[in-house]
Amino acid sequence: MQTSLFLVIGTIAAAIGWLVIYPADGTESAEIQARAIMGNPNTARFGLLLGYGGLVTVFIGLINIARGITAAGGKGSSYTTTATILSIAVISGLLVGTGLELGTAETSSIAVGVTLMTIVGALDISIRITMGIALILLGTGMVFDKNLHTLGPIMAIISGAALVTSSFTDSTVGLGWLFQMTGCIGLIFTGLTLGILTIRSKR
């Protein structure tokens, strides 16, 4: 039940934080994002805490699922062991990103804000790669474990692949933007689906 709540509530919080409240657009330049955050610092802080906090909560839930499969020692355990390590790295990166963007909301210097958001942009690429690989491995582990409906693992693999692919393309236009949106929206549906499936599997 705790894992299910982490996945469902975390996903909802992240979606509201990033898609509704956060004043910037993650696909725009560092300067445009910095100006949007600095122009709406209170809104930005709330959106950031919900967005990043929700993602951290989701990955704690995913770690719980991965650890369960690893502890069972089945065919999927080798995949979920690595997925757990990568998920911990994702959480660390998300916490660093939170601090950098909160720093942007606090500063009155546009130069400092742009510098911080440039770092956030570089960090975002590494997080997406790590996050994507973790989701692919977790989904693969779940496929071998056969504990949950195949819809959850398939969505995890698809969203993970999209996130990794988006990291090597320009996310502001064309296919790069499409891959990033597919990965982000896919992550939202993956979290909700796995949360619901986890509740049903415990009945």
The ranges assigned to domains in the chain are: 2-201
User: Using one digit for the tens of pLDDT, what is the confidence trace for 167-186?
Assistant: 887 766 667 778 888 888 89
- Whether 49 and 98 have beta carbons less than 8 Å apart is answered as yes
pLDDT in tens, 14-64: 999 999 999 998 778 899 999 999 999 999 999 999 999 999 999 999 999
User: Taking a C-beta distance cutoff of 8 angstroms, is the pair 106, 41 a contact?
Assistant: yes
- How far is residue 134's CA from residue 140's CA, in Å, rounded to a whole number? 10
Tell me, what's the pLDDT at 138?
94
Q: Which two tokens stand for residue 57?
A: 């909560």
Q: Is the separation of the CB atoms in 160 and 141 below 8 Å?
A: no
What is the C-alpha separation between 18 and 153, in angstroms, rounded?
A: 24
Specify the pTM. 0.90
Enumerate residues 6+ apart whose C-beta is below 8 A from 168: none
Contact 198, 3 (CB under 8 A): yes
Cα(111)–Cα(113) distance, integer angstroms: 5
How distant, in Å, are the alpha carbons of 99, 135, 138, 164, 182 from that of 170?
A: 25, 22, 26, 12, 14
The mean of the pLDDT values for the chain is 90
